[in-house]
Structure 1
Amino acid sequence: MPLNAVPQAAKERAGNLAERIYLQLKDDIFEFRLLPGDRFSEGEIAERMAVSRTPVRQALYRLQREGYLQVYFRSGWQVKPFDFEHFAELYEVRIVLELEAVRRLCARTQDEHPAALEQLKRTWLVQPEQRLQDGREVSQLDERSHCLLVEATGNREMARLHAEVSEKIRIIRRLDFTQSPRVAATYAEHGKIIEAILARRSEEAQLLLKTHIEVSKAQVHTITLHMLHNARQRSMPTPAVKP
């Protein structure tokens, strides 16, 4: 056995552990188990996940680099409070990318329509009894569908940037879908957008899409602490850490 085999294996295990902690904490944020402003220590996370502090620290600093957490060297970590102006800017970027995607898709010939559009058609153009009703599931489906729309253009950089933006506004989407009327409205809105794209009615499709996204964007300005705590109560019953 090579002399460095064991240390290398140990590094891989540590890296996998840090990745698992990172994904769990990010999910805690998106699912409201950790709310903006919540504070916690490395020790609390390590104890909850039954791991050492080293992979916890690696995961936390990664989340800090991505803008989800901020660190106070004397008092631990905090979920970054909402920056409403930043969310609004992210939505503007999303709108630009998706409108351009629709324009490109509508400009293609019939034979050039990507399979992704057929997949979106099968997802959203369904009978009411076939629709999903769980807000969390529909939220995930909504995000994936919009990403698929941009991916269908074939521009990998557009798709990568759009995916990054989509992840950063995921919590707004999740809040939006805690309101049951949004589920039915989302099916109806997506259906109209897809039909317009398939018919190559570019201006109509872009207008429908922009209106659809603006509804979610408007949610940014209505967020309150009470709304976030209600969302937490509707999610997993046990909080990740103490607020």
Structure 2
Amino acid sequence: MSASRAGDREGSKGPQDRSRAGGQGAGLAPRLYQRAFDILAAQIGDGVLAAGTRLTESGVAEQFDISRAPARRALAELERSGFVVKSEGRGYAVRKPSEGVSAHRTGVPAEEDLRLVSRPSWERIYAEVEDEIVGRISFASWRVNEAELARYYHVSRTVARDVVGRLQQRGVLRKDDRSRWYAPALTPEHVGELYELRSILEPVALTKAAPNMPLNFLAGMRAHLDEAIAHADAIEGPTLDRLEEEMHVTLLEYCGNRTLMQAITLPQSLLIAHRFLYRWTPRLFNTEPFLPEHMEIVRYLEAGNIPGAASALEHHLKVSSGRALARVDVIRREFRAESLPYLDRLDES
């Protein structure tokens, strides 16, 4: 991600990501470059890749069946961690392992399982594109150029179109009056409108979902909230993101109304933005305000008081808008957005 804090070009990755590139948030699947980094680091540490072996962007991309962007990132992280050095020719040369270099073995698969999971072409770059866009909408609105997107990631226009279409489905992108794709900025007006829509639709979905929840679902939600509240002083962004997902997506999907859930998709694009906001501002408040609010909803559901739960959810969403804007304001003050060829800044937010 190219948006960065105080000139740090590492961008949207949180401090825990910068300090151990091969790591991952608890319970979250690692991104493609992280998985490639882990495997290559382990091979270098074990001597499978001997000192002097040359690694290139195209070679890594082909080996792991990924696009060149995550391959490039994996190699950059290997260099940063001391596993490789820039080669005099093209690519990087493996350094001789030393005691000070860790093999980063967390989650590394067996040697015979070196290829990452093969996925449709658009999926191989989607997460990175989404991350780049969402990390910038705190600053401004951005127009997306399909042709430049395809060129940047070395994929076909069809793949780029698939990525853009998925971003539209998830509410990240819209079309302007000239049918051009853009990502709207997280302005107070836009955030307020999305939360207003969520406060109308989500309580309806909750009312329909409550009778359909599995018996142990609420117990699981309570346990997760109890754990988060007990360790609120050390809570991290991925945990906040999972709790939001559990309340506002997993639970509501039990409503059984696909049309209603599709209608909720647009305003819930905020949840995608929150992944970035939580990553950088996990402890903006002394105690995360939404935790007791989520717990109140769970208590109503446990008591069989569905109208009370729906009312508590509506209140939670109405008061959440200001907190979201407070996080956006931190990002706007402390980060800067670096240029990408497929994104054009439209206005100041």
TM-score clears 0.5: yes
Count of equivalent residues: 218
Deviations 1:218-241 (A, max 9, x none): 3466687x64435756xxxx9572
Offset, 1:172 = 5.2
Q: Contact 2:122–2:163 (CA<8 Å) still a contact in 1?
A: yes
What's the CA shift string for 1:101-140, capped at 9, x where partnerless?
A: 444566x5xx986443233222213361389711244124
What is aligned with 1:173? 274
CA contact (8 A) 2:198 2:268 kept: no
Corresponding letter in the other structure for 2:221: L
Change (3 A) 1:28 1:136: farther
Equivalent-residue separation in structure 2 for 1:200 and 1:165 (angstroms): 29
Assess, with a 3 A threshold, how the Cα gap between structure 1 residues 72 and 135 changes in structure 2: closer, same or farther.
Answer: same
Gaps in structure 1 of 5+ consecutive residues: 1-14
Corresponding residue for residue 155 of structure 1 = 257
Aligned to 2:220: 119
Matched residues in 2 for 1:63 and 1:123: separation?
A: 29
1:193 aligns with 2:297: yes
The answer (yes or no) to whether the contact 1:98–1:149 under 8 Å persists in 2 is: no
State the TM-score, normalizing by the size of structure 1.
Answer: 0.64
User: Identity of aligned pairs, percent?
Assistant: 23
Contact 1:44 1:241 in 2 (8 A): no
Q: How does the TM-score come out when normalised to structure 2?
A: 0.48
What is the CA–CA distance in structure 2 between the aligned matches of 1:92 and 1:72, rounded to whole Å? 24
Residue type matched to 1:148 in 2? T
For the pair 1:100 / 2:210, whether they are aligned, the reply is no
Listed one character per residue, the Cα deviations across residues 153-190 of structure 1 (whole Å, up to 9, x for unaligned) are 3334333433x135422355347642612863222221
Amino acid in structure 2 at the alignment position of 1:122 = A
Within the alignment, does 1:20 sit opposite 2:124 as a pair?
A: yes
What residue number does 1:229 align with?
332
Deviations 1:186-223 (A, max 9, x none): 22221122012211234543333222212222346668
SS at match of 1:125: helix
SS at match of 2:266: helix
Secondary structure at the counterpart of residue 157 of structure 1: helix
Tell me which stretches of 4 or more aligned residues in structure 1 moved more than 6 Å. none
CA distance in 1, matches of 2:319, 2:247: 17
Q: What whole-Å deviation, never above 9, does each CA across 1:25-64 have from its counterpart, x for those lacking one? A: 2232234489533467556544542435553355346646
RCO comparison, higher one (Cα < 8 Å, 6+):
1
